[in-house]
Structure 1
Amino acid sequence: MITLAAASQKGGVAKTTTNLAIGAKLAQDGARVLYIDLDPQMNLSTTLKAQTAGVASSLDVLTGDAAIADAAQHIDGYAVVPASRLNGKADDLMPSVGKDYRLRKALETVADQYDYAILDTPPALGTLTVNALTAADWVVIPAQADAYSLDGVTDLAATIQAIREYTNPNLNIGGILLTRYNPRTSISKIIHEDAEAMAQELGTKVFRAWIPEATVVKESQAVKQSLFDYAPTSKAAYHYRFFIEELMEDVDAVAGGKAKEVGSNG
């Protein structure tokens, strides 16, 4: 199982939208997809039509009160572990021993049941995001095309570097994904240059794909449909497909390299 997360400490950068799109495209291609919603806002859970009241949640998984296999709801060809409003108090509710590794250990129990796990994190660099990055093989950094959003990338970069040093040395940075981007504007060109400089410092890239501002994205979430089902020929769907194909080229290349290493050692 390959674990992916789109993460940002800034709200409104299309983090959840990006996670939804990645999982939807992979499921559409026939993969077994597990979503884990860690955000107390529960936007991913509600968009995926998951029950959120009176059910086991990602918080229960983190506290050890539920296993992922028991908390996962199977809906429309994918599985989702919903968030709880109490996720915001996870730092106080989780046992202190092994706190940063709890999601990683929980995912190990279902590694043979899914091809991909998609982790949706809150817009904060706390325990929930640290758990996600400790569990993830890949992280994508969505950044809205404005200066304040890029400031958030700098803070997330410091967290990623600490994660690599202390809890997950194998974390790959897929790249910076520019969202709500209009290449015709002067500010977008400036932001793109700044993002390229940040990517170089992180040892990653700015995706060639970029995501435009699009009403159909909000509409698809309102009617609780995948963007690829609701508006498959829209510009937003086209750009997200381009991005996901670009991301998966790197994911598959690294996975293939590891497979060769295992084969050579056998």
Structure 2
Amino acid sequence: MAKVISISNQKGGVGKTTTTGAVAAGYKLKGYRVLCLDLDPQSNLSFSVGAESEDCPTIYDILKGEAKTSFSIQKTPSFDIISSNILLSGIELEFTQTGREFLLREALNTIKDKYDYIFIDTPPALSILTVNAFTASDYIIIPMLADIFSLQGIAQLSETIDKVKKYCNPNLKIEGIVLTKFNKRTILSREIRGTAELIADELKTSLLNTTIRASVAVKEAQTSQKTVYEYSPKNGATLDYMNLVEELLERGI
């Protein structure tokens, strides 16, 4: 039965999609059966692996009950994926029925036995899509930049997680915070790391040991629709992401 992991932060530009793709691809390289779910209407994760987003069933169709989950899975060299498209952005207004928070959990229950891990790339907003992701998940990983604005956003994210744990998913766990685009040589980054550790304590989680360096190669890999491991296997950020995968595995995920 698959473990479901949401990669989430309502602040954009923190490397959420990049982290989802790199961690998922890293798990697949380790021999696991991996599915990614693109829950962001921008569909950047779908594009980064060359998945179709228009002439095929997407997560939007699944949530509306117009497509079966198993028929919406696309096979790519990076990992299996259920894609998204811009139609997903209107779902807040479309879905007003009771129990809408559980739509994704119900959809994933039908295919969880086919995978070891399901990674969800959540949108940069605390919307019903994010609530659905948390309700369906076992764990949350929070990528954040080493800046003060990222720290401010964590408090809002924490409130949403607490509500989901109270009303929808009491077993949800924040596995950890991972610092992205991190430069350990700057004073600011070192100071933010110390503050992030305090925030992690408040969230009853931990700051992961692995930090991810900034790298142009990561963006180039996405544009080339390749994993970072294919595109630049010796790049610093690539090595960091593989270290993150190994750290998560050591933690039992």
- Is the 8 Å Cα contact of residues 60 and 84 (structure 2) preserved in structure 1? yes
Deviations 1:118-151 (A, max 9, x none): 1011100000000001101111000111100111
Classify the secondary structure of the residue corresponding to 1:175.
strand
Amino acid at match of 2:160: T
Question: In structure 1, how many angstroms separate the alpha carbons of the residues matched to 2:122 and 2:97?
Answer: 20
Instruction: Please give the root-mean-square deviation of Cα atoms over the aligned residues, in Å.
Output: 1.1
Classify the secondary structure of the residue corresponding to 2:112.
coil
Q: In structure 2, what is the equivalent of residue 81 of structure 1?
A: 82
Classify the secondary structure of the residue corresponding to 2:237.
helix
Amino acid at match of 2:128: T
Please tell me whether residue 56 in structure 1 is matched to residue 32 in structure 2.
Answer: no
The percentage of counterpart residues that share the same residue type is: 39
TM superposition score normalised by structure 1: 0.92
Q: In structure 2, what is the equivalent of residue 176 of structure 1?
A: 177
Amino acid at match of 1:61: I
1:246-265 superposed matches below 5 A = 246-252=247-253
Q: In structure 2, what is the equivalent of residue 258 of structure 1?
A: none
1:173-252 superposed matches below 5 A = 173-252=174-253
Deviations 1:78-133 (A, max 9, x none): 31111010111111223513100110011000011111111011100000000001
Q: In structure 2, what is the equivalent of residue 124 of structure 1?
A: 125
Check 1:73–1:247 CA distance in 2 against 1; reply closer, same or farther (3 A cut): same
Q: In structure 2, what is the equivalent of residue 165 of structure 1?
A: 166
- Is the 8 Å Cα contact of residues 212 and 236 (structure 1) preserved in structure 2? yes
Question: In structure 2, how many angstroms separate the alpha carbons of the residues matched to 1:189 and 1:117?
Answer: 32
Classify the secondary structure of the residue corresponding to 2:10.
coil
Amino acid at match of 1:18: T
Q: Which of structures 1 and 2 has the larger relative contact order (alpha carbons within 8 angstroms, sep 6+)?
A: 2
Q: In structure 2, what is the equivalent of residue 35 of structure 1?
A: 36
Question: In structure 1, how many angstroms separate the alpha carbons of the residues matched to 2:136 and 2:252?
Answer: 16
Question: In structure 1, how many angstroms separate the alpha carbons of the residues matched to 2:15 and 2:70?
Answer: 28
Question: In structure 2, how many angstroms separate the alpha carbons of the residues matched to 1:190 and 1:134?
Answer: 33
Please tell me whether residue 115 in structure 1 is matched to residue 82 in structure 2.
Answer: no
1:232 Cα offset (Å):
1.0
Question: In structure 2, how many angstroms separate the alpha carbons of the residues matched to 1:180 and 1:50?
Answer: 26
- Is the 8 Å Cα contact of residues 63 and 95 (structure 1) preserved in structure 2? no
Question: In structure 1, how many angstroms separate the alpha carbons of the residues matched to 2:202 and 2:80?
Answer: 36
Q: In structure 1, what is the equivalent of residue 71 of structure 2?
A: 70
- Is the 8 Å Cα contact of residues 61 and 68 (structure 1) preserved in structure 2? yes
Provide structure 1 residue ranges, at least 5 long, that are not aligned to the other structure: 253-266
Runs of 4+ in 1 over 6 A off after TM superposition: none
TM superposition score normalised by structure 2: 0.97
Question: In structure 1, how many angstroms separate the alpha carbons of the residues matched to 2:117 and 2:70?
Answer: 15
Question: In structure 1, how many angstroms separate the alpha carbons of the residues matched to 2:144 and 2:186?
Answer: 16
Question: In structure 2, how many angstroms separate the alpha carbons of the residues matched to 1:77 and 1:46?
Answer: 12
- Is the 8 Å Cα contact of residues 78 and 226 (structure 2) preserved in structure 1? no
Classify the secondary structure of the residue corresponding to 1:174.
strand
